[in-house]
Amino acid sequence: MVNNDDVARTLQRIGDLLEIREENAFKVRAYKLAATQVENLGESLTDIAAREEGLLGVAGFGPAIAEKVAELLRTGRLDYLEKLEAEVPPTLLSIRELPGVGPRTAALIWHEAGITTIEELDAAARSGGLDGLPRLGARSIERIVTALDARKERGAHRRRPRAEVAPLATVLRDAVRDIPSVIAAEVAGSFRRSREMLGDIDIVAATSQPVRVLTAFAALPQVERVLLRGDTKCSIEAAQGFQVDCRAVAGDQFGAALQYFTGSQAHNVRLRGRAVRMGLLLNEYGVFRTDGGERIAGESEHGVYEVLGLRWIPPERREDRGEIDAAVIRSVGEAIDHPVGSEV
DNA sequence: TTAGTATT
DNA sequence: CATAATACTAAA
């Protein structure tokens, strides 16, 4: 019996394999978007397939994907995926999962060094087998070796249950609040959205001295390894290789940064799309008018949603399941300026 | 400066 | 035609 999660994983897998094959980016995006839509679906695909409208009624599904999902539900197999896996070795997906290795690097390692498995990569990286590849210098190879070591320590799995990492999240948030010049700090990301499985922890800090705060963050006792540190953000690994990101912003940008860092990605993309249609630009620093660049929100998260004509949306609901449409404020003035439906 | 990867 | 925007690092 094929369930929604199986379908979502399969669609994601197709997207990843197509990406390594350097397939048309819009096709790749279509498969990944369809995977996300299935993840967020409240109803069984098997039930949907049995109805009149069928799978074409699912958001993100066109004829090609609908037909493939139908085959998967019916037979438990997918001919297209099997052919694709015969062409692009699926073991490359594990290589692609290493931090710092994306689809282009995975394809390069495959084509130029003939490597398809983690084991082959490990041997080659340590014995000079990757030397001389274009766009892959000594530092990149060293980073791959480090990533392989980390993978051996903690295994392939990345996500952890909320209860397991919640203490770390609050301890680090409080530690950031104690750094001099920090005005406010909150845990954002999937933690703030109350998700059960967490891939990392995201902390937003308001300060007038971002570099100082990020330097202090990188020096906290819970930090085992600094992955990167710039002027606005710092990524570290805590115990068991669990990643924690800290973003430092000015006090009047805190609301926009909290909104951005809370996500979800799909929610942010939809929100920014709405902003564009309203002649606005939304980023992690605020909301700006497209003409003139005047900033009209950013200090508070409520303000960000407000200038976009929306009620504030609780973090748990920011998953692109229709919450933005449901939050639209249709005042008289707005109804004249933007008649219902005109912004969609 | 650009390509690749990463983040929500 | 195709849903946004920005940061960091290494390589060229």
List, for residues A222-231, the tens digit of each pLDDT value: 999 888 888 8
Q: In what order do the strands lie in the sheet with A280-283?
A: A280-283, A286-289, A295-297
pLDDT at residue A2 greater than cutoff 50: yes
Token digits of residue A189: 């990301």
Taking the CA of residue A19 and the C1' sugar atom of nucleotide B6, their distance in angstroms comes to 16
Q: What value does the mean pLDDT of chain A take?
A: 90
pLDDT at A320: 85
Lowest mean pLDDT among A133-137, A156-160, A196-200: A156-160
pLDDT at A155: 79
pLDDT single digits (tens) A184-212: 999 999 999 999 999 999 999 999 999 99
More confident of the two residues A120 and A293? A120
* Class of residue A79 by CB neighbours under 10 A (exposed 0-12, middle 13-18, buried 19+): exposed
Taking the CA of residue A227 and the C1' sugar atom of nucleotide B7, their distance in angstroms comes to 13
What residues have CB less than 8 Å from A98, skipping those under 6 apart?
A144, A147, A148, A151
pLDDT at A291: 84
More confident of the two residues A228 and A90? A90
More confident of the two residues A115 and A337? A115
Q: Which nucleotides of C are covered by protein (CB under 7 A)?
A: 2-12
The pLDDT confidence band at residue A333, using thresholds 50, 70 and 90, is low
pLDDT at A45: 94
The pLDDT confidence band at residue A342, using thresholds 50, 70 and 90, is very low
Could you give the 3-state DSSP secondary structure of residue A254?
helix
A344 CB below 7 A from strand C atoms: no
How far apart, in Å, are the Cα atoms of A11 and each of A27, A60, A235?
A: 11, 11, 30
Lowest mean pLDDT among A47-56, A107-116, A279-288, A327-336: A327-336
C-alpha gyration radius of chain A: 23
Could you give the 3-state DSSP secondary structure of residue A285?
coil
Considering the entire predicted model, what is its pTM? 0.87
pLDDT at residue A14 greater than cutoff 50: yes
Distance (Å, whole) CA A301 – CA A305: 7
pLDDT single digits (tens) A58-67: 888 999 999 9
Q: Which helix (H) or strand (E) holds A226?
A: strand A225-229
Q: Which nucleotide is nearest to A263 (CA to C1')?
A: B8
Taking the CA of residue A44 and the C1' sugar atom of nucleotide B7, their distance in angstroms comes to 31
Q: Which nucleotide is nearest to A141 (CA to C1')?
A: C10
Taking the CA of residue A103 and the C1' sugar atom of nucleotide C9, their distance in angstroms comes to 17
Return the nearest residue to C8, CA–C1'.
Answer: A230
Average pLDDT estimate for A166-191: 95
Percentage of chain A lying above the pLDDT 70 cut? 96
A40 CB below 7 A from strand C atoms: no
pLDDT at A332: 53
pLDDT at residue A335 greater than cutoff 60: no
Distance (Å, whole) CA A206 – CA A232: 11
pLDDT at residue A336 greater than cutoff 90: no
Lowest mean pLDDT among A35-39, A77-81, A312-316: A35-39
Q: Which residues touch strand B (CB under 7 A)?
A: A 98-106, 135, 188-190, 199-200, 202, 235, 243, 245, 260-265, 268
Distance (Å, whole) CA A288 – CA A281: 5
